[in-house]
Chains A and B, each alone.
Chain A
């Protein structure tokens, strides 16, 4: 139908930890939690219980982990003027959570978050930040990593500064953010009722150099400790969702590609390029990087498309031009499919912003599919 199609649908699923107790109530993926407070219609009924505990544990130390911790710890009045979903605001207003642990398998040198996001969470008003000085000690291998990585260097410096400056803790009822390093989850502990989480058993780790890649990996030491909590958010990575008929690397969770050109395997298990099919963003590289990273990723894919076009690789084999958008609309009509054109999105956008204006917010999000479609039709 098109001469070139670019798949840019990102990563909408989660990596599984594969640890006992993972299905207990009160354990969510960070993605579900983010979709919940952002008003995604598929997660408006997640209803996490924020009133059964004073402690939340976030597994992972990437930008998404920091984001969910930030939402749990920010003063509620600051959230009131944002476009956070109404049901989340209500829940957070009544939340009893006062301590959040951000748990990482490795150390501050390997933390996956980036400087801007770390600065923001460290700057939350009246927040007591706890970082153990001992965790900041660096090995020779750590120093090598810091030397080669400017991004890691700046993040490590922020952790060092935070460890020394946030010393006082005499304010009663102050919210706490704890960075726990060198810990990996062994299992989730059930409450007395048996179906909700009451804590996480963590195993202390140490770093070993993986000879082949030179990277340092976390290895369990056999020392365990239990961390009591009533809410667990797993932020251990997103995963792309495979599509029927699309080549997919199950292990890495990406579409096999070469500079954005989708690759499949022929009968002899050789990699061949799928004509006219391209991929970009998280679906291409895995769920890492920020907007600016995706900018360069997109440029690479576009360069491949232009190169293929220049080399005549995109001309239709039949000789007649592809039907394009008209063809697509025909297919949708034949299937009697409900679709929302951009003008429909504009109607939703206008409605949300109008409702927001009445409440001193940028917008008030519509959080169910029915209401969204009503806004399109209205």
Chain B
């Protein structure tokens, strides 16, 4: 009896402080939408995540522990968040890259026709179901322990 009273008080405390129901209220009142995005890593492993409107793919990857580096933190000073949009249909729904994004894509390793910087791809309703592939390598060198040969 005492225990349940405490748990009732506890539940009421949580409810009134907005911790438990706050989020649910927010979701229902704002109808904050999310799109479904699938990340495919270099080994073909897939991870399906939910991305809220307005969030960049780089941010979304970090929030879901997906290994997408973002060395310059989205300031268009590197190309480490290079992603490949797997379907042309979705690639065409994206805004054209700005000159600054193109400047950095120039240096991306393994660039394709549907490559973009993850920090510049922002979630919007039309991108629901988009699949993004992580490039096979971000660096242009072999890690096989090459030893110099005498000449």
With an 8 A cutoff between CB atoms, is B139 at the interface? yes
| A299 proximity list for chain B (CB < 8 A) | 139
Query: Complex formed: what's the CA distance from A293 to B77 in Å?
Result: 11
- The answer to whether B146 and A271 touch across the interface, beta carbons within 8 angstroms, is no
Label chain B's interface by main secondary structure. Answer: loop
B residues contacting the other copy or chain, number (CB 8 A): 24
With an 8 A cutoff between CB atoms, is A189 at the interface? no
Residue of B nearest to A153 (CB): B106
- The answer to whether B71 and A295 touch across the interface, beta carbons within 8 angstroms, is yes
Query: Complex formed: what's the CA distance from A299 to B69 in Å?
Result: 13
Q: How large is the interface on A (under 10, 10 to 19, 20 to 34, 35 or more residues)?
A: 20 to 34
- The answer to whether A292 and B104 touch across the interface, beta carbons within 8 angstroms, is yes
| Smallest beta-carbon distance A113→chain B, Å | 12
| Smallest beta-carbon distance B114→chain A, Å | 14
| B77 proximity list for chain A (CB < 8 A) | 291-292
With an 8 A cutoff between CB atoms, is A219 at the interface? no
Query: Complex formed: what's the CA distance from A114 to B99 in Å?
Result: 12
| A115 proximity list for chain B (CB < 8 A) | 99, 102-103, 106
With an 8 A cutoff between CB atoms, is A338 at the interface? no
Query: Complex formed: what's the CA distance from A307 to B144 in Å?
Result: 10
| 0 or 1 for each of A286-325: is its CB under 8 Å from B? (1 = yes) | 0000011101100110010001000100000000000000
With an 8 A cutoff between CB atoms, is A119 at the interface? yes
With beta carbons under 8 angstroms apart, the residue of B106, B139, B145 that contacts A154 is: B106
- The answer to whether A292 and B99 touch across the interface, beta carbons within 8 angstroms, is no
| Smallest beta-carbon distance A308→chain B, Å | 10
Residue of A nearest to B107 (CB): A292
| Smallest beta-carbon distance B72→chain A, Å | 9
- The answer to whether B141 and A258 touch across the interface, beta carbons within 8 angstroms, is no
Segment 96-151 of B: residues with Cβ below 8 Å from A: 99-100, 102-107, 109, 111, 139-141, 143, 145-146, 148-151
- The answer to whether B103 and A116 touch across the interface, beta carbons within 8 angstroms, is yes
With an 8 A cutoff between CB atoms, is A151 at the interface? yes
| A150 in contact with B106 given A116-B99, A119-B99 (CB within 8 Å) | yes
With beta carbons under 8 angstroms apart, the residue of A114, A151, A295, A300 that contacts B78 is: A295
| B150 proximity list for chain A (CB < 8 A) | 268, 270-271
Query: Complex formed: what's the CA distance from A150 to B113 in Å?
Result: 11
Residue of B nearest to A152 (CB): B106
Segment 328-349 of A: residues with Cβ below 8 Å from B: none
| A271 proximity list for chain B (CB < 8 A) | 148-151
| Smallest beta-carbon distance B97→chain A, Å | 11
| A303 in contact with B148 given A115-B99, A292-B78, A292-B79 (CB within 8 Å) | no
- The answer to whether A270 and B151 touch across the interface, beta carbons within 8 angstroms, is yes
- The answer to whether A150 and B111 touch across the interface, beta carbons within 8 angstroms, is yes
| B103 proximity list for chain A (CB < 8 A) | 114-116
| Smallest beta-carbon distance B83→chain A, Å | 17
Query: Complex formed: what's the CA distance from A293 to B78 in Å?
Result: 9
| A268 proximity list for chain B (CB < 8 A) | 150
With an 8 A cutoff between CB atoms, is A273 at the interface? yes
With beta carbons under 8 angstroms apart, the residue of A119, A151, A273, A303 that contacts B139 is: A303
| A295 proximity list for chain B (CB < 8 A) | 71, 78
- The answer to whether B79 and A154 touch across the interface, beta carbons within 8 angstroms, is no
| Smallest beta-carbon distance B115→chain A, Å | 10
Q: Which residues of B contact A (CB under 8 A)?
A: 71, 77-79, 99-100, 102-107, 109, 111, 139-141, 143, 145-146, 148-151
List 15 other contacts, CB 8 Å, given A119-B99, A154-B106: A115-B103, A116-B99, A258-B146, A259-B146, A268-B150, A270-B150, A271-B148, A271-B149, A271-B150, A272-B148, A292-B77, A292-B79, A300-B139, A303-B139, A311-B145
